[in-house]
Amino acid sequence: MEIYYNLTEEDYIHFNLYHVKNSKTGKQALGWQRFLSPFIFIAGAYFLSWMGDIPLLPLLITFLLMSALWVVFYPKYFYSLITRHAKKMIKEGKNDGLLGDHQLTLTDEGLVDTSSNKETKVTWSGITSFQEDDQYFYLYNSSVSAYILPKREIDQVDQLRMYVQSKLER
């Protein structure tokens, strides 16, 4: 089976967001950053009250409000930070083999990804997991990288899903 597709910067960014939202480490990082900071805010209110001889209640109300806003809005900031970092990484160096036109050939032995300047081969045992969302298939070849297949470029989405799953179940 052969699939021809074009991988764009948006596709790569989407993968990074998907990965962070679905990985254990990404979820933990967001959780710690989201909920530890409000604890520090509230501790700061007590510290300022104690050190500055300021009434605790107004400080506590202010810092609790800041904490609530932080908890609500921090995830949006966190994911925008992931997006910015992914864009910076793309612009840092040569990424000719990452973005652009690809030909993915699926065989009984594995898959071959061919782009404008490189070719990578991996056996089915080298695919650590197969995941998908509404727009993409992800064939993970490590805990942090995957072959990204945009569903918009695939004619037979269900057939591809069944084929890959059958190869990985062996």
Residue spans of the domains in the chain: they are 2-8+99-168, 11-92
pLDDT of residue 135: 94
Helices (H), 56-103: 56-92
The CATH classification of domain 2-8+99-168, taken from the options 2.40.50.140, 2.102.10.10, 3.90.1200.10, 2.30.29.30 = 2.30.29.30
The answer to whether the beta carbons of residues 30 and 78 sit under 8 Å apart is yes
Sheet bearing 146-150, strands edge to edge: 129-132, 136-140, 146-150
pLDDT at 82 over 80: yes
pLDDT of residue 58: 86
How many other C-beta atoms can be found within 10 angstroms of the C-beta atom of residue 63? 20
Tens of pLDDT, residue by residue over 110-145, are 999 998 888 899 999 999 999 999 999 999 998 888
Token code pair at residue 132: 């998908």
pLDDT of residue 117: 83
pLDDT of residue 42: 87
pLDDT of residue 106: 92
pLDDT at 95 over 80: no
Tens of pLDDT, residue by residue over 21-60, are 998 988 898 889 888 888 888 888 888 888 888 888 888 8
- Judge residue 116's burial from the number of C-beta atoms within 10 Å of its C-beta, 0-12 exposed, 13-18 middle, 19 or more buried: exposed
Query: CA–CA separation, 49 vs 61, rounded Å?
Result: 12
